[in-house]
Structure formats: C-alpha cells, structure tokens
C-alpha cells in the first residue's frame, strides 16, 4: 500500500550519517507519476503523504491493506486528509459529492469518508493525512478563503505570502495543520530565522521550481549540528520535532507545509536566532 515507510529517528542517528543515508531517512521522492497514486508512511505523527496524477482516468484513494484486520476498510476510516492541487484544473469526488479543484486549492476530507476519487488531465494532487479522533465538515478552500500572512521583504530575499488553509478559523480539523507559502520573485528563503516544533512534526513539499535544474537547499538537524538536503521540484522532506526546517532555493518557488502533533496552535514554536546555528 505504501511506497516507503519512514521510521522515527533520534537526533543521535545523525552522527556520522552519510549523505545518501540522510536522504533515505528524510527525503520523499517519486510521488507524482502519471496515472498513479503513490503514498508514503512516516512514523512521525503517523503521517501519510503522497501524490495523485489522474491523467485520462480517475484514480481512487485505495482501501486499507494493513493490518490484516483492517484490510478492505476505507483509508479514511480513522484518518483525516487534505488534498492540494498543485497542477491544472481537476476535481475530487468524496462519497458522491464532487468539488472542482483549481491550482492551489485545497479540499479537507474528514474522517469516515468512504470513497475519494481524483480526476483531471493535468491535475496534480498532493495528499497529507493524519489520524483523527472526530469527524468534521468537509471543506473546499480557495486562496481567497485562506488566511494570508505577508512575511519578509525583498532586501532579505524572503518576501512571501503564507496562506493558512487548514487551521482554526479557516477550516476545522482534528490535528492537521496545513498551508501553502508562495515566495515573491527575487526571494529564495522560505523562513528566516528558523524554528523548532518540539510538540509536532512537519513536512515540506517543495514545488513550482522554475526549471529542472533548480533546487532548494533544505537545512535540517539540531541547531548546533546542522545538515542539508538538496531537493528537486515536487519532493518533500520530513522534519522531526528535534529538527530545524528552513531552505533557500536557486529561484523563487512555493511549498506546502503540513504539521501534526498535540495541539492546533500555529504559533507553538521555538524561534531561533541565526547566530545560534552552526
């Protein structure tokens, strides 16, 4: 059912790790393949992330295959999910209710949903799912309905707009927080200074890198033991609670951030001074 399972890690496991081992533990690749749905499982908060590229035919969210006792049950039996379209026009149908999905629009799909189908030639859906303890209303969220936060400036190469999509006041959820950040032309830093979430894990999906040659340098690890990953378009990186997360690209880009943990407080973070990093 899952292309890859990512295990939770201790910061000591970063000691002497090779670059390939670092990529294997935290970098999620190959999610967006024509005509496929590809899901990955992370033991950090029991996240599931993946991509759907419907192409000419609709693709359904698969039923559970494990454990054996749950085989055949709906994938969202005990989960909630957000789907963001990062491609052309498409649609998502949930239990017979169809939602037209334009670029950068989000659909929150609640726990207990039975069938979810994706369609649209040129559509590319990013999925982020977490365990849930209650059922909430399904909601289609456009950028106009999101909560926008203007941050940074061109002088510091980090002028950007944070669109909060699945967050209290915009869309209720059990534990998922999700948003989309778009950097202005001339800006490359996605956050500065970096921060830590001791009580939640976060996953970044980088997309809209202008060319195949462009990359994001994603910085991670403990503040005084920093490492980096070189990330291509439409790849994601898992940030454990002990790891900072920030990045700088060769050009401006966009990214989707998804968080899960013990509360829904977006501001619950430990902001670091750049001088603390090494």
| pLDDT, block means (10 residues), the chain with 278 residues | 90 90 96 97 96 95 86 94 98 98 98 98 97 97 97 94 97 97 96 84 97 96 92 97 94 97 84 80
Considering the entire predicted model, what is its pTM? 0.95
The answer to the question of whether 262 is labelled as a binding residue is no
Distance of CA 258 to the CA centre of its chain: 4
- Tokens for 78, please give them: 């005990």
The answer to the question of whether 195 is labelled as a binding residue is yes
Q: What is the pLDDT of residue 255?
A: 98
The answer to the question of whether 133 is labelled as a binding residue is no
The answer to the question of whether 140 is labelled as a binding residue is no
Phi, psi of 270, deg, nearest 5: -105, 105
CATH number of 12-276: 2.60.120.10
| 38-65 core/surface letters (b: 16 or more CB in 10 A; e: else) | bbbbbebbebbbbbbbbbeeebebeebe
């Amino acid at each position: 059912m899952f292309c890859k399972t990512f295990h939770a890690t201790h910061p000591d496991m970063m000691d002497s790790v090779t670059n390939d081992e670092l990529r294997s533990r935290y970098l999620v690749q190959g999610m967006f393949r024509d005509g496929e749905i590809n899901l990955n499982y992370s033991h950090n908060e029991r996240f599931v992330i993946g991509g759907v590229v419907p192409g000419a035919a609709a693709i359904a969210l698969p039923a559970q295959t494990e454990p054996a006792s749950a085989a055949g049950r709906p994938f969202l039996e005990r989960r909630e999910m957000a789907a963001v379209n990062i491609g052309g026009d498409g649609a998502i149908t949930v239990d017979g209710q169809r939602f037209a999905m334009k670029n950068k629009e989000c659909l929150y799909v609640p726990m207990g949903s039975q069938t979810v189908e994706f369609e649209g030639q040129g559509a590319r859906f990013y999925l982020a799912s977490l365990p849930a303890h209650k059922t909430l209303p399904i909601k289609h969220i456009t950028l106009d309905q999101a909560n926008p936060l203007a941050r940074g400036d061109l002088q510091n190469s980090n002028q950007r707009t944070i669109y909060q999509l699945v967050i209290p006041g915009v869309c209720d959820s059990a534990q998922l927080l999700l948003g989309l950040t778009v950097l202005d032309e001339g800006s490359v830093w996605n956050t500065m200074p970096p921060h830590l979430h001791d009580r939640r894990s976060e996953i970044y999906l980088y997309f809209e890198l202008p060319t195949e040659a462009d990359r994001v340098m994603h910085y991670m690890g403990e503040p005084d033991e920093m490492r980096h990953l070189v990330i291509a378009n439409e790849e994601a990186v898992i940030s454990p609670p002990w790891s900072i997360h920030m990045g700088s690209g060769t050009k401006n880009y966009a990214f989707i951030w998804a968080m899960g943990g013990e509360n829904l407080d977006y501001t619950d973070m430990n902001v670091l001074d750049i001088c603390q990093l090494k």
